[in-house]
Amino acid sequence: MTSEAENTTETEDATRRSIGARRNPASEEAILDAAEAVLRENGIAGFSIEAVARRARAGKPTIYRWWPHRTALMLDVYKRFKNAKAFPDTGSLRGDLVSFLGDHLLGFWNGSLCGTVYRAVVAEAQTDQEAAKVLNAYHADRKAYSTRIVERAKARGEVPADTDAALVMDLVVSYAWHQLLLGQTEEALQTVPQVIDMILKGVPGLRQ
């Protein structure tokens, strides 16, 4: 009597059976689709395993089998958007960082589902020990990747070889997190160049 109620977005008309003793990619996709849809429609607060299972017409155990936590599921939703990951080489460190902060972080998060998901993941990590591990691992991985921007600048001779690449990137990422978690990505996008300049050049006119 309520069979068509959930079929708002799904083309899966019939029941999705097992395909033997191995993971069903159709189920995985349906679950990730449902997770995305739930997040999009009901926000972080409405995101529950129950809701995702209902939406995906999947059993809760099927979800728990493959994703140990809500966080793992969220991160997988997040990763589906992280396809284009190369940082464009603008020829200068400043340009690279402006692009990174503006396009890769704030612009990527702003208004899109990704921002919502990432906020949720960070929030979850504050509560759940296991989620924190997952987030830390993901974060370390991304950091190792993004420091290449500074390494590229070193290779260009733009900055000394002993520049603390991790610290530079930390400042950029920290700023982006802060704005994201305060729900201010929109406003922050307006001042990206100033932020990068402050990080690169410090407080102008500082009397030392």
**Interface pattern 48-77 for DNA (x via CB under 7 A):** xxxx----xxxxxxx-xxx--xx-------
Q: Toward DNA, which CB reaches closer, 19 or 140?
A: 19
Residues 175 and 195: beta-carbon distance below 8 Å: yes
Site for its own copies in 110-129 (CB under 8 A): 119-120, 122-128
Dihedral of CA 84/176/194/108: which sign? positive
Exposure class string for 165-196: b at 16+ Cβ within 10 A, else e: beebbebbbebbbebbeeeebeebbeebeebb
* CB 117, min distance to DNA, A: 15
Query: Quick one: which of 40, 139, 142, 148 contacts its own copies (CB under 8 A)?
Result: 139
Among the listed residues 117, 30, 24, the one whose alpha carbon sits nearest the alpha carbon of residue 72: 117
Q: How many residues bind its own copies (CB under 8 A)?
A: 49
* CB 125, min distance to DNA, A: 14
Residues 38 and 47: beta-carbon distance below 8 Å: yes
Site for its own copies in 10-69 (CB under 8 A): 44-45
Q: Toward its own copies, which CB reaches closer, 29 or 200?
A: 200
Q: How many residues bind DNA (CB under 7 A)?
A: 30
